[in-house]
Homo-oligomer: A and B are copies of this chain.
Amino acid sequence: MEATRAPSDNPERRRDAERTRAEILAVATAEFADRGYDGARVDEIADRTRTTKRMIYYYFGGKRQLYVEALEQAYARIRAAEQEVNVDHLEPAAAIRRLAEVTFDHHEANPDFIRLVSIENIHRGEHIARLPDLIDLNTPAVRLLTDLLRRGQEQGVFRTDVDAVDVHMTISAFCFFRVANQYTFGTIFGRDLLDPGRREHYRTMLGDMVVAHLTAVG
């Protein structure tokens, strides 16, 4: 039998604003991540959707606004993923290690996000600066780290001369570099940083390094 439903609930309807919009955004994210802002082509984005260029201007207004929305959505997704992490039950050192692993995995699993961030930095962050929603200075990762560092410091096992943002930067730098600079690093040093065979090595090494640093006398 067949369920009777309103046309707007029908997933196969020809005209579906949200669907079209979402499809454009998904394709645009891939295109911008792939070629950079100036390298991306509006016509190319349109061709890879089931709609036309006209719709990009209809829904987003222009290339720039489309890029900004793609960037915004990418950050929102990462932020949402960070919310999921829970390390309350772990000892400070183990928790830091776990957090480093989660960050490591995130970066590896989201190369498009990494590329968009690189691209945005090439443009000196001019677009992200205009997205007030994203300027949440109390990011989940930092909130977690602040708590962890305090716990570790109270137990006397962590040094006190680094703060949550410092540690987050360190971990991000390692994970980001490994993905973002894989090409130049790979050709110059003859080492594929994303070789699955070396994945565990780097994943462990990051945790070792951060914990060694935090537990060293400072």
Contacts and interface: CB of A to CB of B under 8 A. Distances in A.
Interface stretch (A2-10, A43-51, A52-60, A118-126): A118-126
B186 A178 contact: no
Interface stretch (A13-21, A23-31, A167-175): A167-175
Given A128-B188, A169-B178, A170-B205, 10 more contacts: A118-B118, A122-B122, A125-B187, A134-B187, A137-B188, A161-B205, A166-B201, A173-B174, A209-B209, A213-B213
A99 interface: no
Given A35-B38, A213-B212, A216-B208, A176 B184 contact: no
11 contacts: A36-B36, A37-B39, A118-B118, A118-B181, A128-B187, A129-B187, A136-B188, A168-B189, A169-B178, A170-B209, A212-B213
Interface residues of A, number: 59
A208 to B, nearest CB: 6
User: Does more than half of chain A's interface fall in helix, strand or loop, or is it mixed?
Assistant: helix
Interface in A162-218: 162, 165-166, 168-170, 172-174, 176-178, 180-191, 193, 201-202, 205, 208-210, 212-213, 215-216, 218
